[in-house]
Amino acid sequence: MKLHQQVAAEVEKAFSATGLAEHPIVLQPAKNRDFGDYQINGVMGAAKKNRQNPRELAQKVAEALQENHLIATAEVAGPGFINLRLRPEKLVQYIESALQDDHLGITRSSEPQTIVIDYSSPNLAKEMHVGHLRSSIIGDSLNRVLSFLGHKVIAQNHVGDWGTQFGMLVAYLTEQQQNGRADLELADLEQFYRNAKVRFDEDENFANTAREYVVKLQSGDSSVLTLWQQFVQTSLQHAQAVYQKLGLKLLPSDVTGESFYNDQLQPTVNELLAKGIAVDSDGTKVVFLEEFKNQDNEPAPFIIQKKDGGFLYASTDLACLRYRINTLHANRLLYVVDARQSLHFNELFTVARKAGWLPENVHAEHVPFGTMMGKDGKPFKTRSGDTVKLMDLLNEAVTRASALVASKNPDLSPAEIAHIGQVVGIGAVKYADLSKNRTSDYIFDWDSMLSFEGNTAPYLQYAYTRVQSVFRKAGTWDKNTSINLNEPLEQQLAVELLRFEDVLDSVADSTYPHYLAAYLYQIATLFSRFYEACPILKADDATRNSRLQLTSLTGKTLQQGLILLGIDTLETM
């Protein structure tokens, strides 16, 4: 149910009837729900442009909304707002059809797109650390929302599995195999990288071997490739363990790493040269971009091949973009990558448009996000200043949540505590991220994310268990009784529940998951007010069954909404 769209259609008709067809209606959910369900703010702007009295004009629009099939009342307020109250009988009809549908009345797109989402995408020459958390969580949520709306989503994990570091890593792996210590070394990847780096810096022979391996790797030497594969596989298994712990939808089959594009790099560069888009500047192949000038008014250089023939991050991304459009047939490309790479993506898309690889009807979007900060306001680190391993962070989340659950509820069995601790701990980490506007940096703070009050995962998960407990106590009830929205809080909850699709649409368009988080928080808060003001189980039969239906849609909406954020729910906690 696109409630907003339906109301907007009626308001637009009223605007036309009043001679305001060209003016934006500016419709939004009412700021204060005691005065209405929606408010129209557009009349003031229209009045100003037409030099009319805003209140008089608003009165005319309100009159045009009389006897409307969807809108019960339209009242002018303040300098020329109009407060709208929707017809309860209409809302009831919509609620009933949402309840009967396992997709909660949410329509699947009539024009499904093929959307490629690039997310997580760690460099495999390092163990996954907190820097990869945001991309993984945000990308996964967008994947879920867009899939739910009926689009074909192709997740792409663009892992960094190619480049000079891999020569060093493979050289070190060979050395350790000769010592019979390879398995042992690979068991701790972080240490492995560090040891390899030490060897590289201290031993000239080792460094030379490493450089030779880079060349062999690039020329496709099979024995070096086998070693490289072994290393990449181990590294990917480690990443997959993190994904599993996080409950991400990412699968090993979503990995299409940088190495995949290797044989496309030279042709890509050649094509840009042939088209006259790239030039040879002293041996380096560059696209000069007039669109991106530096302080001295010189065009920005987008380097696609180095003097020595080596390729770069940019070359791979060009080949990759072509693959996503030509082979995966994407209509929309999302890159969930740190905000610090904004310029890279701007330039990438510009070059691709120039080359004709990115047609007008394909949208390419960088979905940037800020840095995860510690409580001290500096990028999140361990006490000793090291980067925090993602697995350690997630384990700590579960441990902390389990301790919290055990202290609140000492009667639970250890197995129950472990399960609830997992769901709450991981949910808290994800929600802390997804509930904030992704473009800002955010402070990672255990205490606030694990709090049962405020806009947190535990609060929402707890709200869901409250709903479930109502049904446990209710036993069997009649799901076919008609719904009544006699109390203001019942109507408010109903209106809010029917906004779900509008909210999901806005997440899909804007790629801001925090709109969904804010919505779920609003639902949980409204439900709790409703629950306190309107007795459910103690009411007379008709009222009880009506309220149980509202409660039921609340539970389904909370659960579905949390699933779309990648967060699990519990029956009790």
Chain positions contacting ligand ARG, by CB under 6 A: 118, 121-123, 158, 160, 317, 320, 335, 337
Residue from 382, 324, 392 nearest 118 by CA: 324
59 or 315, CB closer to ligand ARG? 315
Nearer CB in complex with ligand ARG: 128/517: 128
Residue placing its CB nearer to ligand ARG in the complex, 91 or 364: 364
On whether the CB atoms of residues 167 and 210 are closer than 8 A, the answer is: yes
Alpha helices in 74-203 (DSSP H): 88-100, 133-148, 165-178, 182-186, 189-202
Shortest Cβ 313–ligand ARG spacing (Å): 7
Per-residue buried b or exposed e for 26-41, using 16+ beta carbons within 10 Å of the residue's own CB = bbebbeebeebbbbbb
Question: What minimum distance in Å lies between the beta carbon of 1 and ligand ARG?
Answer: 36
Nearer to ligand ARG, 38 or 260 (CB): 260
Nearer to ligand ARG, 121 or 557 (CB): 121
Shortest separation between residue 287's beta carbon and ligand ARG, angstroms: 17
Contact criterion met (CB below 8 Å) for 124 and 257 = yes
Min dist. Cβ of residue 308 to ligand ARG (A): 22
Q: How far is the CB of 265 from ligand ARG (least distance, A)?
A: 14
Q: Give dist(CA 295, CA 287) in Å, integer.
A: 18
**What is the spatial distance between Cα 82 and Cα 553, in angstroms, rounded to a whole number?**
29
Q: Structure tokens of 28?
A: 């939004």
Whole-angstrom Cα distance, residue 534 to residue 491?
Answer: 12
Residue (189 or 398) nearer to ligand ARG, CB = 189
Residue pair 239/125 in contact by the 8 Å Cβ criterion? no
Strands 38-40 and 81-86: antiparallel
CB neighbours of residue 14 within 10 Å = 22
Region class of 302: left (phi > 0), else alpha (psi between -120 and 50), else beta = beta
Burial of 303 (0-12, 13-18, 19+ CB in 10 A): middle
Phi and psi at 219, nearest 5°, equal -90, 5
Nearer to ligand ARG, 37 or 118 (CB): 118
Identify each DSSP E strand in 432-492 by its residue range: 442-443
Q: Which residues contact 537 (CB under 8 A, 6 or more apart)?
A: 470, 473, 474, 544
Closer residue to ligand ARG in complex, CB, 2/134: 134
Q: How far is the CB of 132 from ligand ARG (least distance, A)?
A: 7
Site of tokens 């305001």 = 20
Question: At CA 325, angle to CA 321 and CA 330, rounded to 5?
Answer: 115
* Sign of the four-CA dihedral 322, 214, 171, 133: negative
Closest distance of CB 143 from ligand ARG, Å: 15
Mode of pairing for the β-strands spanning 114-118 and 152-156: parallel
Burial class (CB in 10 A: 0-12, 13-18, 19+), 294: exposed
Q: Which one, 15 or 302, has the nearer CB to ligand ARG? A: 302
CB closer to ligand ARG out of 433 and 496 = 433
Smallest distance, Å, CB 320 to ligand ARG?
Answer: 6
Given a contact cutoff of 8 angstroms between Cβ atoms, the answer to whether 95 and 497 are in contact is yes
Nearer to ligand ARG, 122 or 555 (CB): 122
Q: Give CA separation, 284 vs 292, 310, 314, 548, in Å.
A: 19, 10, 13, 69
In the complex, minimum distance from the CB of residue 162 to ligand ARG, in angstroms, rounded to a whole number:
10
Sign of CA dihedral 555, 561, 563, 566: negative
- CB 516 to ligand ARG: min, Å: 24
Nearer to ligand ARG, 317 or 505 (CB): 317
Cβ closest to ligand ARG, residue 44 vs residue 390 = 390
Question: Is the CB of 231 or the CB of 335 nearer to ligand ARG?
Answer: 335
Query: C-beta of 39: minimal distance to ligand ARG in Å?
Result: 42
Q: Where are the beta strands (DSSP E) in 351-409?
A: 363-367, 372-373
Q: Residue 162 is encoded by which pair of tokens?
A: 């190619």
- Min dist. Cβ of residue 438 to ligand ARG (A): 15
Alpha-carbon span 452 to 432, nearest angstrom: 13
Longest CA–CA span in the chain (Å) reads: 89
> Which of residues 160 and 368 has its CB atom nearest to ligand ARG in the complex?
160
Interatomic CA distance for residues 364 and 325, integer angstroms: 10
Q: Give me the least distance between CB of 365 and ligand ARG, in Å please.
A: 12
Least spacing, CB of residue 357 vs ligand ARG, in Å: 14
In the complex, minimum distance from the CB of residue 122 to ligand ARG, in angstroms, rounded to a whole number: 6
